[in-house]
Amino acid sequence: MNLSMKWLNEYVKADMPIKDLCHALTMSGSKVECYETEGSNISKVVVGKILSKGPHENADALFVCQVDVGEDAPIQIVTNAKNVKEGDLVPVARDGAVLPEGKIKKCKMRGVESFGMFCGLDTLGLTLHDFPYADPEGVFVIEEDCKPGDDIHEAIGLNDTSIEFEITSNRPDCLSVIGLARETAATYGIPLNVKAPEFKGIDGSAEDYLKVDIHNTTACPRYCAGIVKNVKIGPSPRWMRERLRASGVRPINNFVDITNYVMLEYGQPMHAFDLRYVEGGHINVRNAVSGEKIMTLDGVERELTSEMLVIADEKKPVAVAGVMGGEYSGIMEDTNTVVFESAYFEPTQVRRTSKNLKLKSDASARYEKGVDPRISMTCLKRAFELVELLGAGEVVKGVIDCSNPVPEQSKVAFDPEWTNAFLGTDISAEDMKEYLSRLEFTIKDGIITAPSFRIDIESKADIAEEVARIYGYNKIPSTDFRGVARAELTAEQKFVRDVRNACAALGGFEIATYSFVSPKYFDKIRLPENSPLRRAVKIVNPLGEDTSVMRTSTIPSMLDVLSFNYNNRNEKACLFEIAKEYLPVKVETDGSELTLANDETRHRHGYEYPLPYEPQMLTVGMYGGCDFYTIKGMIEQLLDKLRVYNVEYSRFDTEREVNCGELPSAEGTKSGEYYENEAFHPGRSAYITVGDKIIGIIGEVHPTVQENYSIGEKTYVAKLDIELLMALADEKITYKALPKFPASTRDISVLVDDSVPAADLEKAIRKGVGKILEKVTLFDVYKGKQIAEGKKSVSYSVSMRSHDGTLTDEQADSAMKKALKALAELGAELRG
């Protein structure tokens, strides 16, 4: 909303410095975005009177003028303007003048000195709408009441200041000059001068010309109309054009300007149309017939539905009620009789229509927020007052007022004690009454009645806001928090914090990525056609394909970031993210109950579509100076820190009973299919498992996937399910006594088939040695010379210790024999 200061001053004496006014209004709730004085980019331009116009000695197209600029001697100006003559008043940019396009300096034009320049409308940043009588091509010949030497701003009224407000959606009443004048008056406690509009009119009644029937009084409780005869279409006067311009509205002609003027002044949209095009002289406010069409003013043909309200004549719709008029019903050059409409339409009705037609207008923006339901007739009268003031036609005295009950004015108990208790203030009841009365609330018998334009008032809290904003938010005291409160993180929040800190301590840099991604990732990470991860939650109205589905895997996001870093020539990166995946939950076709946590409220609201499952994942990714064992080492250390024990790393093809936890729905158990196996190098990847549960996946990224993400180096990724990790973490820490007796250590090297995993050998040693085993450390794996093809030599250092006494050599040797026996079962034999 742009407010003209000249206009505002008509209703309230706002002569305080503009900066103070803007601040005061902002602090009382009408936020000022900025203010601008018109023509502030123009200086040293004055009115000049052309005393003589003669030929230029060196150029046929130029003229030399002597111009009176209000000084003792005239100045000489060279011009090419053909439309000026002796005696004309014109804007003269003098030497040193500033114009929107730049500075003006005296100069010689083809040898003749020129001390300035004549200005056209466009040079001054104006258009024909501002001064319709001007020659659009030539110099602006001023027909205003002014004299030579006058500053151009004053002379043509280019000196208004316009304030731009951000008006919140609950205060449509402030989308008007009077609304803001009222706020100004209330803020400063000064009088507001709005007088009821009056018009004289000629004898007769609008009913002689027009019949109005409302067929849907819920959507349109009130419809006022009147007639103006023998209209004279033409430009409106300068003061009106100036105010419209300062309000950001383009002047068109007197009738259109009057409707806009009243809308800006009172906030009530008006509509004026040509009676000729109202067939049968009969206005019907009715619902559209489904499929009915109308060409709206913007030249687009629109198909209507039966939920939409139209203003129709006997045959066809002439306007979409509260949204936009029809193309052929508007005011034209030859219009003779004009119908003015001022109506109240129900906000939701207008909002839905505007939304469904995808058509917004100044009128719909106001109606859908809610205009004053009791102001229709006042505004019709104001329009007629202006018609008479402008001499634009003859107003027929009798008007039409189809009136049905409109929404009641809100009533709220006046409870100063409650208000103070709610705000934490100590404002006297008298002051509260004063503030409310400035805002035109009335109080009688302890009941506050809100003015009809305040459609936002419902409860005591609303009254508290009114009191507080006039009192001043910043005068409300600040209190420290009272009472005792106990707060701690939940177990999950603590766990996530520990995971995050541990990952950073292990060298990971935390990243943040979008939850929505491009569905192209399905193919980029080689998800099989039947992978459940291809079933993603889709966004109906995404910004673009790149952010159109909710990720079912965090790995593509990690790969995107690794790729970004690789292609920015960062030589290495070790990254992690803790974030969600989004797995859609199937709707049971037999209508059986879903088992979502928030089922109860969802069922209460009749939502039939379950929310997706949002498991939280830890994703780690790295490239540069690392290998499989680097990322595995990091994960091992992390799991150790989190006290997750008995972790195994098994290849995807290992036969075992696995599940990855329960999906919280009828879907049942999540299987290994929920992992991105194909994204990995088949020989350098594994599930991370504990018992029969897959808790994560780890490995080198498949070369094709690496290529898909344009990463030119071996890349490693791991992903772990936070919820599963947390369930497995051993929270209890128990101190074990430090050993009293020395350990015995034996080294063994065994020869075994290359395919036997080291983890199995270690398990065999543990089993064989039994409870005196303290530690098994792998210290060498060797293939090559002296080792048969398909075999490897693996060496361990085995440390044994008893808590009951020093181990004898016999005890240690016997334990090692058992270990060798267990190893033999795997085909491992002692190496000589």
Partner 1 sequence: MKEQLEKIEALAKQELNECADIKALDDLRVKFLGKKGELTAILKQMGKLSAEERPVMGQLANKVRADIEEALASKLTALKSAAQAARLKEETIDVTLPGTHAPFGKLHPLTRVENEIREIFMGMGFEIADGPEIDDDYHVFEALNLPEDHPARDTQDTFYIDGTNETNLLRTQTSSVQVHVMENQKPPIRIISPGRVFRSDAVDATHSPLFHQIEGLVIDKGITMSDLKGTLEMLMKKLYGNDCKLRFRPHHFPFTEPSCEVDISCFNCGGKGCSMCKDEGYIELLGAGMVHPNVLRNCGIDPEEYSGFAFGLGLERMVMGRYDINDLRLLYENDVRFLEQF
Residue 500 touching partner 1 (CB under 8 A): yes
What distance, in Å, lies between the first and last C-alpha atoms of the chain?
A: 94
Residue 232: what residue type?
Answer: K
Closest CB 193 distance from partner 1, rounded Å: 25
DSSP category for residue 325: E
Closest CB 600 distance from partner 1, rounded Å: 8
Give the nearer residue to partner 1 in terms of CB position, either 587 or 781. Answer: 587
Using CB under 8 A, which of 249, 574, 761, 812 touches partner 1? 574
Using the contact rule CB under 8 A, the part of the chain among 331-339, 505-513, 708-716, 746-754 near partner 1 is 505-513
Give the nearer residue to partner 1 in terms of CB position, either 284 or 619. Answer: 619
Residue 627 touching partner 1 (CB under 8 A): no
Q: Is 710 left (phi over 0), alpha (psi -120 to 50) or beta?
A: left
Closest CB 405 distance from partner 1, rounded Å: 21
**In the range 117-146, which residues lie near partner 1 by CB under 8 A?**
none
Using CB under 8 A, which of 35, 422, 652, 782 touches partner 1? 422
Residues forming a β-bridge with 341: 225, 271
Q: Which two tokens stand for residue 629?
A: 């064992």
**In the range 599-618, which residues lie near partner 1 by CB under 8 A?**
601-602, 605, 607-609, 611-612, 614
Give the nearer residue to partner 1 in terms of CB position, either 473 or 741. Answer: 473
Closest CB 563 distance from partner 1, rounded Å: 11
Are the C-beta atoms of residues 453 and 372 closer than 8 Å to each other?
A: yes
**3-state SS, residue 576:** strand
Give the nearer residue to partner 1 in terms of CB position, either 88 or 466. Answer: 466
**In the range 310-369, which residues lie near partner 1 by CB under 8 A?**
347-348, 351-352, 368-369
**In the range 512-531, which residues lie near partner 1 by CB under 8 A?**
512-516
Using CB under 8 A, which of 290, 428, 570, 777 touches partner 1? 570
Closest CB 566 distance from partner 1, rounded Å: 10
Closest CB 558 distance from partner 1, rounded Å: 10
Q: Which residues contact 632 (CB under 8 A, 6 or more apart)?
A: 649, 698, 718
Residue 507 touching partner 1 (CB under 8 A): yes
Give the nearer residue to partner 1 in terms of CB position, either 171 or 245. Answer: 171
Using CB under 8 A, which of 377, 443, 506, 729 touches partner 1? 506
Residue 417 touching partner 1 (CB under 8 A): no
Q: Measured between alpha carbons, how far is 768 from 772 in angstroms, rounded to an integer?
A: 10
Are the C-beta atoms of residues 67 and 139 closer than 8 Å to each other?
A: no
Residue 631 touching partner 1 (CB under 8 A): no
Q: Measured between alpha carbons, how far is 269 from 629 in angstroms, rounded to an integer?
A: 73
CB-CB neighbours of 618 under 10 Å: 24
**In the range 28-67, which residues lie near partner 1 by CB under 8 A?**
28-29, 31
Give the nearer residue to partner 1 in terms of CB position, either 255 or 522. Answer: 522
Question: Of all helices (H) and strands (E), which one includes residue 20?
Answer: helix 18-27
Q: Measured between alpha carbons, how far is 338 from 380 in angstroms, rounded to an integer?
A: 13
Residue 481 touching partner 1 (CB under 8 A): yes
Q: Measured between alpha carbons, how far is 348 from 189 in angstroms, rounded to an integer?
A: 35
Classify strands 63-68 and 211-214 as parallel, antiparallel or unpaired.
unpaired
Q: Which residues contact 223 (CB under 8 A, 6 or more apart)?
A: 212, 214, 283, 285, 341, 343, 344, 376, 400, 402
Closest CB 167 distance from partner 1, rounded Å: 9
Closest CB 439 distance from partner 1, rounded Å: 13
Q: Which two tokens stand for residue 92?
A: 């003269």
Q: Measured between alpha carbons, how far is 226 from 197 in angstroms, rounded to an integer?
A: 15
Residue 473 touching partner 1 (CB under 8 A): yes
Using the contact rule CB under 8 A, the part of the chain among 20-28, 78-86, 665-673, 809-817 near partner 1 is 20-28
Residue 664 touching partner 1 (CB under 8 A): no
Using the contact rule CB under 8 A, the part of the chain among 24-32, 226-234, 390-398, 695-703 near partner 1 is 24-32
Give the nearer residue to partner 1 in terms of CB position, either 100 or 424. Answer: 424
Q: Which residues contact 830 (CB under 8 A, 6 or more apart)?
A: 748, 749, 750, 751, 820
Using the contact rule CB under 8 A, the part of the chain among 39-47, 165-173, 211-219, 754-762 near partner 1 is 165-173
Using CB under 8 A, which of 299, 490, 692, 785 touches partner 1? 490
DSSP category for residue 600: H
Using CB under 8 A, which of 94, 153, 171, 382 touches partner 1? 171
Are the C-beta atoms of residues 79 and 118 closer than 8 Å to each other?
A: yes
The angle at the Cα of 388, spanning 386 to 390, to the nearest 5 degrees, equals 70
Using CB under 8 A, which of 111, 542, 682, 691 touches partner 1? 542
Closest CB 518 distance from partner 1, rounded Å: 13
Residue 169 touching partner 1 (CB under 8 A): yes
Strands (E), 18-88: 31-37, 43-55, 63-68, 75-79
Using CB under 8 A, which of 26, 43, 704, 795 touches partner 1? 26
Q: Measured between alpha carbons, how far is 249 from 127 in angstroms, rounded to an integer?
A: 12
Using the contact rule CB under 8 A, the part of the chain among 39-47, 156-164, 470-478, 798-806 near partner 1 is 470-478
Classify strands 211-214 and 282-287 as parallel, antiparallel or unpaired.
parallel
Residues forming a β-bridge with 696: 688, 720
Q: What is the dihedral of CA 811, 816, 818, 820, to 10 degrees?
A: -170
Using the contact rule CB under 8 A, the part of the chain among 80-88, 197-205, 430-438, 538-546 near partner 1 is 538-546
The CA–CA distances, whole Å, from 584 to 178, 534, 535, 615, 769 equal 53, 10, 7, 11, 49
Q: Measured between alpha carbons, how far is 451 from 485 in angstroms, rounded to an integer?
A: 43
Residue 371 touching partner 1 (CB under 8 A): no
